[in-house]
């Protein structure tokens, strides 16, 4: 055991104690007279595919084991998220599926500050169809419009209902 060992142990214990102390300090990014609007939900992506028949020339150029009569390309449908409070648009964003191949769930988690009192709230989560293409069946369109009462220090939560088919405020 060298002379440095007790010093190293003391420094390590000091860092652990400091981290433990600081982890218990309350942290609030909003003042006590502010409220929060939180958007939080998760949906599975909607798959879209575009297929066309292969030409005879295309089939002739392919190895025998790859000669499928149709070729398809596809992906998942992106969504538009817009949020307006008292007629003022606060969020306009595009939500895409997560994962390297965009085949994982789509997550929405946003938090905004609200002044206390009654607020007109418009939330729209709508599929984006590229070039006016028809939307696939089962592509949910979620909208919520109404008035919420923001209370100081409280959170207004916009999330999916228990059936997962529409937005609700809690």
pLDDT, one tens digit per residue, over 76-125 is: 889 999 999 999 999 999 999 998 888 899 999 999 999 999 999 999 99
pLDDT of residue 4: 80
123 Cβ contact list (under 8 Å, min separation 6): 39, 81, 82, 83, 142, 143, 144, 145, 158, 167
Q: Is 114 exposed, middle or buried (0-12, 13-18, 19+ CB in 10 A)?
A: buried
Report residue 53 CA to chain centroid gap. Answer: 36
In a domain, 137, yes or no: yes
Q: Is 39 exposed, middle or buried (0-12, 13-18, 19+ CB in 10 A)?
A: buried
* Domain harbouring 132, CATH code: 2.60.40
Q: Tell me the two tokens of residue 35.
A: 């409220």
In a domain, 25, yes or no: no
pLDDT of residue 126: 94
In a domain, 63, yes or no: no
pLDDT of residue 31: 67
How many CA atoms within 13 Å lie on the side-chain side of 111?
Answer: 7
pLDDT of residue 28: 64
What is the number of structural domains in the chain? 1
Going from the C-alpha of 92 to that of each of 20, 21, 102, 151, the distances in angstroms are 39, 40, 21, 25
Tell me which residues of the chain have a pLDDT lower than 50: none
pTM (predicted TM-score): 0.73
In a domain, 69, yes or no: no
d(CA 159, CA 170): 8
Kind and range of the H or E run holding 7: helix 4-23
pLDDT of residue 27: 67
Domain boundaries, position 164: 30-46+77-169
In a domain, 8, yes or no: no
pLDDT of residue 131: 55
In a domain, 65, yes or no: no
pLDDT of residue 102: 83
pLDDT of residue 164: 85
d(CA 68, CA 15): 63
In a domain, 11, yes or no: no
In a domain, 14, yes or no: no
pLDDT of residue 57: 94
């Amino acid at each position: 055991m060298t002379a440095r060992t007790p010093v190293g142990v003391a420094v390590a214990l000091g860092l652990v104690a400091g981290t433990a102390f600081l982890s218990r300090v309350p942290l609030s990014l909003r003042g006590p007279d502010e409220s929060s609007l939180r958007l939080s939900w998760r949906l599975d992506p909607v798959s879209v595919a575009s297929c066309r028949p292969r030409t005879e020339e295309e089939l002739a150029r392919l190895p025998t084991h790859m000669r499928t009569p149709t070729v398809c390309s596809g992906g998942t449908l992106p969504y538009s998220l817009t949020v307006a409070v008292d007629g003022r648009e606060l969020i306009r964003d595009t939500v895409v599926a997560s994962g390297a191949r965009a085949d994982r769930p789509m997550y929405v988690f946003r938090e905004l500050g609200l002044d206390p009192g009654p607020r007109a709230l418009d939330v729209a989560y709508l599929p984006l169809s590229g070039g006016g293409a028809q939307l696939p069946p089962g592509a949910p369109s979620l909208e919520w419009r109404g008035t919420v009462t923001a209370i100081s220090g409280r959170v207004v939560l916009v999330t999916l209902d228990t059936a997962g088919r529409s937005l609700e405020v809690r």
